[in-house]
Amino acid sequence: MANILLGATGSVAAIRVPALFDALATRGHTVRIVATAAATHFFNPAVIGTSGQRDTQLVSLDADEWPVDGFTRGDPVLHIGLRDWADLFLIAPLDANTLAKLAVGLCDNALTCVWRAWDHAKPVALAPAMNTVMWLNPFTKKHLRALAADFGAAHLPGHFDEDMLIRQINERAVNLRIAAPISKLLACGDIGVGAMAEVDAVVECALGLLH
């Protein structure tokens, strides 16, 4: 069984984070969560585990990376500790803002610091979730192609639509898989593609990398 780091970002689909945690744990894996501040608008970290309050061994937030009492030389560095611990990094949901950060290497929170420090010899799975117009924005394909290139799938044609691009990434990228978003009634009231894939599909996409 594997150590799986579940990254959660600021999409409404973060309401599925507890279900993702449970689905992975039920399959026998050890799971920890690193969440952005925006993600916690949509799920309560206190519901992870049984203590009734946030278990810092299960859910890491930016406050754990940068505590108010400051840093002392020799203190553990959260994003490095999480990077070393995890066998697989699953970011679900992956919002548009964080996708952009990953593509260009920005690291301004604990989650993106883990990404910047990640060993590409270890697998990563991503489950994008955003409004349809945001998903179809040209930047989305640019950012996905940039990530694919980092994982060995360079020179993917720019004329591919989003579905074809994801299929090509999943076939050609080493240690990177993307759970394609689905079409449904979105939280904003629009109907279209952009919703995070169903929990079982996300889990199967991620666990396929372990085989």
Positions annotated as catalytic residues are 188
Domain count, the chain: 1
Q: CATH no. for residue 60?
A: 3.40.50.1950
Listed residue (187, 143, 147) closest to 16, CA to CA: 187
Listed residue (10, 20, 97, 105) closest to 62, CA to CA: 10
Boundaries of domain holding 126:
3-210
User: Residue 85's pLDDT is what?
Assistant: 98
User: Residue 45's pLDDT is what?
Assistant: 97
Instruction: List CB contacts of 85: < 8 A, sequence separation 6 or more.
Output: 3, 5, 32
pLDDT tens-digit readout, 26-54: 999 999 999 999 999 999 999 999 888 99
pLDDT tens-digit readout, 159-188: 888 999 999 999 999 999 999 999 877 787
For the segment 74-93, the average pLDDT, to the nearest whole number, is 95
Given a cut of 80, whether residue 22 has pLDDT beyond it is yes
> H/E element holding 185?
strand 182-185
List beta partners, residue 72.
Answer: none
pTM above 0.85, yes or no: yes
Is residue 30 within 8 Å of residue 10, measured between CB atoms? no
For the segment 72-76, the average pLDDT, to the nearest whole number, is 82
Alpha carbons 59 and 130: distance in angstroms, whole number = 23
3-state secondary structure of 183: strand
User: Residue 191's pLDDT is what?
Assistant: 83
